[in-house]
Each structure stands twice: as structure tokens, then as C-alpha cells.
Structure 1
């Protein structure tokens, strides 16, 4: 990962994220100008809920990050599982408030961290780029609306969640990843279910030929068929194509 200290190489890998690639060159340069690459060990917190924001934005370069929320009994609830090259942290940047979730490295992870003071000052001098920050947040809101109140049985809702994960929750719709590195335990936390129920739902999807299971991994065989199933269409039905 040492080659990523070269700004050109860093910009090249960041282009894999659709939001970043759609931004103007001036904004891209501002994002990486003062940014630092930080390494986090598995289980280490990038930040905790309620902490004052030190960084404007984060981007997963290598590894994975869990955004979690503590339930009433103190157990963590996994909200979203972020992998390369997902940008996050925009809420604190926009409203100036503290972080609203815990961000935990799920494995040895490298994160690009954009300092909030210098970047906020730059945005104030270049206000037209606040629209791009708003786009980043709205993309996440669109995904949230797809997840909230998902209809159907668990295997339907799981199909949609896997479909979203394959597309990086909207960050790589043009270049989706069909190999998902995620455990059944993480899926259970995200879906508010049990590992046993997730195992049964995955078995259902596997039996339909939609996915294949590996060790802490899931291979998506056909994204469109997975979405069709999430929308309660027959696996072979093409009427649900978007």
C-alpha cells in the first residue's frame, strides 16, 4: 500500500468510486491535498459516536469499516459495512455536529482522512462545491429509503441488501463487485435478524442459483436476477430490469 503515498496513484484508485470520479478536478485535488493515509488495526475505532469531528471525510482504501449503533442493551447493531472505495463522514462535515455512529475497522484497514478544518475552509472559499458534498449525502439517503421498510420475507430483503452491497451502496453501480466479503453474523446484524435465519435465507437464495457461499464471503451469480427476486419477480423475469 506504500505506492498510494504517490498522489497520482491515489487519485487513480479513488476514481473507482463513482461520486469521486464525477467531481471536478479542482475538488478532487482539494480532497487529497491535506489528506492523510491512516492504518487501523482490526477492532480499532476511527471515531466514536458523540466525538467532535476531526476529519471532514473518510474513504476506505483497503480493508473494511463497520458503522455501528449501540442498542438499548448495549450490544452493537451493524448499520452498514463499507469497503473500498467508499466515502463517508459527510454528516458531521455538513452540520458541524459530532459523529453520530461508531466507525470500527473490521480488519486491518487503511483509510484516507481529510482534515475538517482545512477542507471546510477551502469549501467556504469555493462554495459551488458544496453541491457535490450534498450529492454524496443524497446518494446515501436514496439507499436508506430503499432499505427502510423493505417488503417481503427475509430472503427477499436479503437479496436487495446483497444487491446494494455489490454496488457499494451506490458507489460503484457501473462496476459492481460480485464477490462480497461479509460474514453471516454481519448480515444478521445489518438485517436485524439471527444468524440462523440469515443462514436459511442464504440457502434459499443459493437454491435459486442467485448466490454461492464461501468462508465469510458470498458470490453473486447474477445481479439482475437478484434484484428481480428482491422485487418479488420470478428469477427469469426480465420485466424488473432498471
Structure 2
């Protein structure tokens, strides 16, 4: 049984709400379940909602006219998504697919915006998180333009981990639910090329490879290593 109150209390984008605001968010929340690989929404969908991941993981993606999927980001439990929730009437820029069995807590866009209007102190938190995501998107473009394969893969793993934790990574191990295929698809590389780089990182003691998961053993050490590659 999902504790909706606890999940929303711990969600970064709602952390500026007072206790009463969280209670009101719980009152308007809808719990939704999706099986692995199920479509959550398509690119271009005009349904507006803030989605908080209570369990599982979600793949943010784009699909070509021929059906080829490009993975853009993977979010795990505790994080949120909903690119059009602050822009009424705007179509979704990306699609979303259940990366595993997923439970979402959904706040409809109009009701979420009404909640923020009632508790404007949360806007500062939301704007900070949105600006961080914008910075992350720009940094990915910069990586693609300026950096080699090793640095790009190392920085992307750190970015994925930071998105999951919602704060600076520090020196504690952190796992990302991602395969070599997903990384290759996400970055426009071959699986073989990604595998070679990941094995180099593993041999250097920077990460541990497991089935469907990569664990960065010390994010600060990984960050220092990647910076030397630049």
C-alpha cells in the first residue's frame, strides 16, 4: 500500500509546501499503476499533470515516425516529471514509458497550479529545480559538442545519479537502473563502445556493473576522474 502523504512530503518539487499544502496535495492526488514497457503518455499529448514516482522507474523518450525509440532520461522512485505542467495548453515535448513496473502519484495540472497559487512559497523551489534541469539539458548539448566518449559516458552516469538523489552526490555509492543498451540508445553510441568504456571504469575502481544496473562507487572520485578526461 502506497503512503501517498509520505511520498509527496519527500518529493523535492513539493518541499516548499507547508503541512496543510501537502495535505491538500494528497486530497487531489490520483494513484496510477503501469506494467513494465507500458505507455504512460505520448509526445504531443496535451494531458497536463505532475507525476511523482512512488515505485519503479520511468523512461522519458522520443519515438521516430518509424517507431525507433530514443531514451532521453530515466527517473526512479522519489523523482518527478511532467514537462508541460507549468504551461497550460502546451503539448508534451517528450513521451514516457514504464521502465519497470511503476506506481505514480499524479496531480492534474490545473489543480497543481491552483495549489501553487495558494502557496506561492513553493514557486522558489520549483523554479530552482526547473533551472537545474535546464542547466542539465544544456550541459548534455555541451558534452556532445566538446567531449570524447569516456567523458560523456562518465558525466551522463553522474547526471542520472544526481537526478535520482535530487541533490549533490557526495562520496556515497549510488546505483542507476540502466543497461548498456539504454546508455547507448540515450547517447547515440554503439553498445560495444559503451561496454568498453564501462569496463574501463570498472577496472579503474570507479563503478560496479550488475545486471540492469550500474553503481557509481564514489561520485566525487568519478567526477574528478572525468574532469581529467576533459
When normalised by structure 2's length, the TM-score is 0.86
Give the conservation status (yes or no) of the 8 Å contact 1:61–1:85. yes
Return the match for 2:93 from 100, 119, 126. Answer: 100
Cα shift at 1:233: 5.8
Give the conservation status (yes or no) of the 8 Å contact 2:76–2:164. no
Give the conservation status (yes or no) of the 8 Å contact 1:167–1:177. no
Q: Deviations 1:169-208 (Å, cap 9, x if unpaired)? A: 5614368761222111111111111111110110111121
Gaps of 5+ in 1: 235-242
Matched, 1:193 2:185: no
Output the CA distance in 2 between the equivalents of 1:117 and 1:147. 31
- For the aligned residue pairs, the C-alpha RMSD in angstroms reads 2.4
Which stretch has the larger CA shift, 168-177 or 34-43?
A: 168-177
Change in 2 beyond 3 A, CA 1:16/1:128: closer
Return the match for 1:208 from 183, 204, 212. Answer: 204
Change in 2 beyond 3 A, CA 1:211/1:126: closer
Give the conservation status (yes or no) of the 8 Å contact 1:36–1:113. yes
Cα shift at 1:31: 3.0
Cα shift at 1:73: 4.7
Change in 2 beyond 3 A, CA 1:165/1:228: same
Superposition pairs of residues 1-242 of structure 1, within 5 angstroms: 2=1, 4=2, 9-55=3-49, 57-71=50-64, 73-89=66-82, 91-96=83-88, 97-150=90-143, 151-168=146-163, 171-173=166-168, 178-232=174-228
Output the CA distance in 1 between the equivalents of 2:119 and 2:16. 17
When normalised by structure 1's length, the TM-score is 0.82
Give the conservation status (yes or no) of the 8 Å contact 1:58–1:87. yes
Change in 2 beyond 3 A, CA 1:141/1:232: same
Count how many residue pairs are aligned between Structure 1 and Structure 2.
226
Q: Deviations 1:32-77 (Å, cap 9, x if unpaired)? A: 321111100111121111111242x001111111110124654111
